[in-house]
């Protein structure tokens, strides 16, 4: 057998092995990137949801305090006691920790919306506790701004996660028609 007849099959084996190695490496890299994307999407989703829940919980407490102080209509008034203040401090500390997690994992638009949401939440806190605020804005207007900021945050979080379309249609406006007091509770 000639030297050329021996080299060509050997070269074919070497080229085949190299191509096989290259394709396997590319497939593994693609699989790893896909797993990483899923992992970070899951972490991002958890951060968005946990933060939204913490903010909603604090706003509900502030609203109950506002009801107790006669700033708005609603059920389940809450008196501003030392125990209530301790619970609010703990809940706000938790919200703050979640805010840091969100800042690490969230995209710019969602993080910016979260900052605006924080400002609206703090405005509710000041009003509920009777602390002075600039502008003389009442509870109902501040709560409406909070709800709009929360909706904007959720919309940006959905977009960051690749969820298309609005979360709620126009038919689900607030407050619902059955509410007789017209308050922005809920």
Which pLDDT value is given to residue 34?
A: 79
Q: Render pLDDT for 107-135 as a digit per residue (tens, 0 to 9).
A: 999 999 999 999 999 999 999 999 888 87
Which pLDDT value is given to residue 172?
A: 63
Q: Give dist(CA 102, CA 91) in Å, integer.
A: 16
b (16+ CB within 10 A) / e for 83-112: eeeeebeebbebbeebbebbeebbeeebbe
> Of all residues in the chain, what percent carry a pLDDT higher than 70?
89
pLDDT band at 4 (very low <50, low <70, confident <90, very high): confident
Q: Which two tokens stand for residue 105?
A: 């994992």
Q: Is the pLDDT of residue 170 over 70?
A: no
> How high is the mean pLDDT of the chain?
88
Count other Cβ atoms within 10 Å, centred on residue 46: 13
Q: Which two tokens stand for residue 29?
A: 């890299």
Q: Is the pLDDT of residue 177 over 80?
A: no
Q: Which two tokens stand for residue 80?
A: 């501003």
Which pLDDT value is given to residue 127?
A: 94
């Amino acid at each position: 057998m000639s030297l050329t007849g021996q080299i060509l099959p050997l070269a074919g084996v070497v080229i085949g092995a190299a191509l096989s190695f290259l394709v396997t490496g590319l497939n593994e890299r693609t699989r790893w990137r896909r797993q990483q994307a899923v992992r970070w999407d899951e972490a991002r989703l958890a951060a968005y949801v946990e933060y939204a829940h913490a903010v909603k919980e604090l706003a509900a407490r502030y609203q109950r305090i506002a009801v107790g102080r006669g700033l708005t209509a609603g059920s389940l008034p809450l008196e501003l006691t030392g125990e209530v203040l301790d619970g609010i401090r703990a809940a706000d500390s938790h919200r703050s920790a979640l805010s840091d997690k969100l800042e690490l994992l969230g995209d710019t638009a969602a993080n910016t919306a979260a900052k605006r949401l924080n400002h609206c939440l703090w405005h509710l806190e000041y009003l509920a506790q009777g602390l002075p605020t600039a502008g003389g804005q009442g509870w109902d207007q501040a709560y409406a701004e909070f709800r709009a900021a929360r909706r904007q945050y959720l919309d940006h979080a959905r977009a960051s996660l690749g969820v298309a379309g609005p979360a709620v249609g126009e038919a689900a406006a607030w407050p619902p028609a059955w509410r007789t007091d017209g308050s922005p509770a809920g």
